[in-house]
Chains A and B, each alone.
Chain A
Amino acid sequence: MDNGPIIKLENVTKVYHQGKINVTAIDGFSVAVDKGDFTALCGPSGSGKTTILNIVGALDVPTAGRVTLEGNDLADLSRTALSTMRRDRIGFVFQAYNLIPVLTAYENAEFVLALQGMPERERRARVMEMLKEVGLEGLENRRPEELSGGQQQRVAIARAMVTQPAVILADEPTANLDSATAASLLSIMEHLNISHGITFLFSTHDQRVMDRARRIITLRDGKLAGDERKG
């Protein structure tokens, strides 16, 4: 496994303007995440975890500092290039699942592949395999409202994984799930991380996720408060 940094944040600062008040969400944060890492970003609510994920995922821009993904400085990329990068190189798993309600489980998982323009036959094979891998075989035609929270999060993982991205960014992926479902999902993600070599970066304050992570980066008040590698 190549252990070079796939994500690199250097002196990243993010200041939000709320009326006349400036709120510093991230304050001179630097970290490098290696390819194939299974990393948890921890910290209390408001510590800046989601902001970091937004910035790494090219959904938000830092006020200061430099962010690189696979060696590309995100500041140098156009809106379209960032969109393409999100589509092809990043997978997102959201706390609230964020599936598209009018699409079936199959169509949700297929959505990004269709955006990529992949031929239908290849798309179908890949989606069916991924849905099987996350344990959703037989539920392809159900809409999100017909699935449990855990099943919806599995669809979200399948959607993130199916494109075989370089990085998966997961924002509190187990926050709304019961223990058994959370454990099952973590096993799936761990398996995908090992078998496909995909880098995972979670934001969490769930101890179950922290226990499974191989690296824990702790944030406090937008600053790096700890960086622990296990094993």
Chain B
Amino acid sequence: MNGMKRHFSMAWRNIMRRRRRTLITAATVAGGLLISLTFTGTADWSYANMIDTSAKMGYGHVTVAPRDYFESPTINKRIHNCDAIRETVLRDGGVVDAVVRIFGQGMFATASKSVGGTMIGIDPAHDSAQRNVFISALKEGKLFTGADDPEVVIGMKLAEKLNLHIGKKLIYTSADINGEIFSGMARVGGIFRTGAETVDGGVILLPIDRLRHALHYGPQDATLIAAFIDDQRRAPEISSRLATRLRLKNAEILPWPQTQAELAGLISIDHASNVLYQFFVGLLVAAGILDTILMSVLERKHEFGVMLAVGMDPKKLFLLVLAESFYIGVLGLVIGGLIAVPWYWFMHQTGIDLASYIPEGYDAGGVPLETVLKMRLYWESLVVIMAGVFSLTLAAGLYPAWKASRIPPVESMRGI
């Protein structure tokens, strides 16, 4: 048996001497792995969900918008040649869809009441429930079909405020690019409910061509083009690629963290606190592992003393104890993996319904929250977590290993 093989063989036999303790320690490692996977998986799922929802609320994951539009949004800032730009955007391999939208502020009134809010002009030919949260959140009625359709879709809270129902009339008023006031009348064709009170109480959807005409925009003008990508984490990379490809003079291509800065900030803070929380959980798990390994080392002080007495190099003894931590780490990952697979499957497919814990109308930065908590793990996160938990186990074994290598061999001569 060569040196390393002997070390690993001895280490395995050593940890198998006390199977129950080894299993409990490995279970602690497995618990740490599960906690970390759950925290990261649920956070990643929530972040991805919020980002996707936010993207579907108007700006997409990547936005082609007039320069400085997001610093001071106004209807006078607009992009031209929308169809051509959209076609170029769609040619990018990372982009799965792109839609043209117009954003504007307006007053919405009935005979008795009026409310201020946002008008979003969408193209019903291209927009769908997959790309538009308002369409997917339709609770009553249907989406208009084109510019000639005299209908709008409004939020449920707005409907309540203005006492509107399907088929009722609504007057929308705003100013065009020349500063002239315009008004339009439409019937309520659909009512959506996202769950976010600010959104449900102040957004209406109109056919883009009708809004274009009312604002005196050109036939290829719009506020922005919202691009949807396969993985929101690639937004910066795809943005810069599109910027190079499009080379637009008066427009810029922005990834979601720039167009939805409030959400990006919330996610950053949550992510940082999640990492900190996991760090402390990791410390507790490591302390538990360290305690067990240290105890097992101190129990074998005499045995280690004999090994040193007969000439074992203290460095090799250090490696022997570290190899025991290695096996405990591997066992922990295997046990954790066996539990994590069905757990992840359940959490990814079904999840836990937290509706009773989340207040009605609760949102994060204007983005409605999904009440069913699910998990989504990226491969990179999985690798980092497994490597982190394994390294933590090895690190927890460092002190006991060092302690073992420092045992005075004279201990061995003291008879048991």
Contact = CB atoms under 8 A, between A and B. Distances in A.
Interface stretch (A54-62, A146-154, A219-227): A54-62
A71 interface: no
Q: Is the interface of B mostly helix, strand, loop or mixed?
A: helix
A120 B14 CA distance: 23
A98 B412 contact: yes
A103 B1 CA distance: 12
A114 B1 contact: yes
A86 interface: yes
Contact of A83 (B1, B3, B308, B413): B308
Interface stretch (B51-59, B246-254, B310-318): B310-318
B409 interface: yes
A87 interface: yes
Contacts of B14: 102
A94 interface: yes
B1 A94 contact: no
Contact of A102 (B2, B17, B312): B17
Given A59-B410, A94-B412, A103 B10 contact: yes
Contacts of A87: 310-312
Contacts of A83: 308, 311-314
Interface string B289-318: 000000000000011001111111110100
Contacts of B3: 114, 117
Nearest to B304: A100
A114 B13 CA distance: 18
Given A101-B303, A102-B10, A102-B14, A53 B311 contact: no
A3 interface: no
Interface residues of B, number: 28
Contacts of A111: 307, 310
Contact of A60 (B13, B306, B307, B410): B410
Given A114-B3, A114-B6, A59 B412 contact: yes
Nearest to B411: A59
Contacts of B1: 107, 114, 120
Contact of B309 (A59, A95, A114, A175): A59
Interface of B: 1-3, 6, 10, 13-14, 17, 302-303, 306-314, 316, 408-410, 412-416
Given A50-B414, A59-B409, A112-B310, 15 more contacts: A53-B413, A83-B314, A85-B311, A87-B310, A92-B309, A92-B310, A94-B413, A103-B10, A111-B310, A114-B3, A115-B310, A115-B311, A117-B3, A171-B415, A175-B415
Interface of A: 50, 53-54, 57, 59-60, 79-80, 83-88, 90, 92, 94-96, 98, 100-103, 107, 111-112, 114-117, 120, 159, 171-172, 175
